């Protein structure tokens, strides 16, 4: 198949849902902690975060996982001062273990948001997650450690990748973050499409068609840079606001999609054309970006959207982590 045909003419067989068509050229990932959703849409991978785990943990059908996490903390003789944090960590891993019984690929488990500027703390938390998974018979190859795309987070990922622990760099909103992640050897990045759109809509008061969506444009730029300069880091578009954004990124390495949008794609059988391919992206007219710590911090500072959304995302994830801790304290 030629690149031109790939981009302009590739459509799946008549009658296939848009979700099934998309799966022909993009690895579909479910952005949820709800196992029923995973079974319904059959994604290859799954991602979680504190917000999703909190939402799932309070559902009656997952009460047994909460009870198991609490029982583990008690039986392991965890000191009282560390019991809540250990219970939360173990609960995150328990959800990951259950998810891996359903998806054939990998699960992403998120590190604490309040460690986002603590390289050593992030490395230690990743080691703990991997050990908990290992104790359950889950090899590290099936786990992605999610870390915010701060300078310190990227340095932690660099250490972990050299140890063979794969990382998913999340809360990513700019090319400089993406380039730093690739140069650190990160396995995967999660640029947040919808949150970029949110910022621009609020800033400009405009609505954007999917092809002009600033989040879509950002991911296409990152994808093009990676393919042009031979970076092996996988690009996984995330945080979508509508199906149009997803379809504009058809062909991206991976896309992690919420249950509501997975359902929308499954209900439609309209044709899906591939919009991204390595062959076309490799011809992108771009220059290499110099990324050392000084340049990273300066370029990120100069990008108001990326600076604000990274900080906001860290705060939001921390707030939900605190709600999850409070929920555990009440159970303890």
How far is CA 235 from each of CA 125, 171, 321, rounded to the nearest angstrom? 24, 13, 26
Helix (H) or strand (E) holding 236: strand 234-237
Residue 97 contacts residue 38 (beta carbons within 8 Å): no
Q: Cβ contacts of residue 104 below 8 Å, gap of 6+?
A: 44
> Quick one: how far is CA 80 from the chain centroid?
32
Contacts with 168 (C-beta within 8 Å, 6 or more apart), sequence order: 47, 108, 144, 145, 146, 147, 186, 187, 188, 189, 190, 236
| Continuous H helices in the chain | 3-8, 18-22, 35-41, 50-57, 63-75, 80-100, 119-135, 151-162, 175-183, 193-204, 214-228, 243-248, 259-267, 278-281, 293-302, 304-331
Compute CA 7 distance to the chain's CA centroid, rounded to the nearest angstrom.
25
Residue 214 CB coordination number (10 Å)? 19
Catalytic residue among 146, 220, 227, 275: 146
Q: Quick one: which of 161, 156, 154, 199 has its CA closest to 176?
A: 154
CA pseudo-torsion sign 322, 323, 324, 330: positive
254 strand-pairing partners: 27, 236
Three-class DSSP labels, 116-153: CCCHHHHHHHHHHHHHHHHHCCCCHHHEEEEEECCHHH
Q: How far apart are alpha carbons 243 and 90 in whole angstroms?
A: 34
Q: Is 146 a catalytic residue?
A: yes
- Under 8 Å between Cβ of 234 and 216: no
Active site residues: 146
């Amino acid at each position: 198949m030629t690149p031109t045909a790939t981009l302009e003419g590739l459509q799946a067989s008549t009658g296939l849902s848009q979700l099934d068509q998309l799966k022909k050229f993009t690895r579909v990932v479910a952005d949820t902690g709800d196992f029923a959703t995973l079974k319904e849409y059959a994604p290859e991978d799954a991602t979680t975060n504190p917000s999703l785990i909190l939402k799932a943990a309070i559902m009656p059908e997952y009460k047994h996982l909460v009870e198991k996490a609490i029982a583990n903390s008690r039986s392991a003789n965890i000191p009282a001062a560390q019991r809540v944090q250990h219970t939360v960590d173990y609960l995150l891993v328990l959800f990951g273990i259950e998810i891996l019984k359903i998806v054939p690929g990998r699960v992403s488990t998120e590190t604490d948001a309040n460690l986002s500027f603590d390289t050593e703390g992030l490395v230690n938390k990743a080691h703990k997650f991997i050990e908990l998974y290992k104790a359950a018979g889950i090899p590290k190859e099936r786990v992605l450690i999610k870390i915010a795309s701060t300078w310190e987070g990227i340095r932690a990922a660099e250490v972990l990748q050299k140890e063979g622990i794969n990382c998913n760099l999340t809360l990513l909103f700019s090319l400089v973050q993406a380039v730093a992640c690739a140069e650190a050897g990160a396995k995967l990045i999660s640029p947040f499409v919808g949150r970029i759109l949110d910022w621009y809509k609020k800033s400009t008061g405009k609505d954007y068609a999917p092809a002009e969506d600033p989040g879509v444009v950002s991911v296409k730029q990152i994808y093009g840079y990676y393919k042009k300069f031979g970076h092996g880091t996988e690009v996984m578009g995330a945080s979508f606001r509508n199906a149009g954004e997803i379809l504009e990124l058809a062909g991206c390495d991976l896309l992690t999609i919420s249950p509501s949008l997975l359902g929308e794609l499954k209900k439609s059988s309209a044709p899906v054309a591939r919009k991204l391919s390595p062959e076309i992206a490799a011809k992108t007219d771009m220059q290499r970006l110099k990324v050392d710590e000084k340049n990273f911090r300066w370029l990120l500072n100069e990008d108001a959207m990326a600076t604000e959304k990274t900080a906001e995302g860290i705060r939001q994830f921390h707030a939900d982590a605190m709600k999850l801790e409070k929920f555990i304290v009440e159970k303890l």
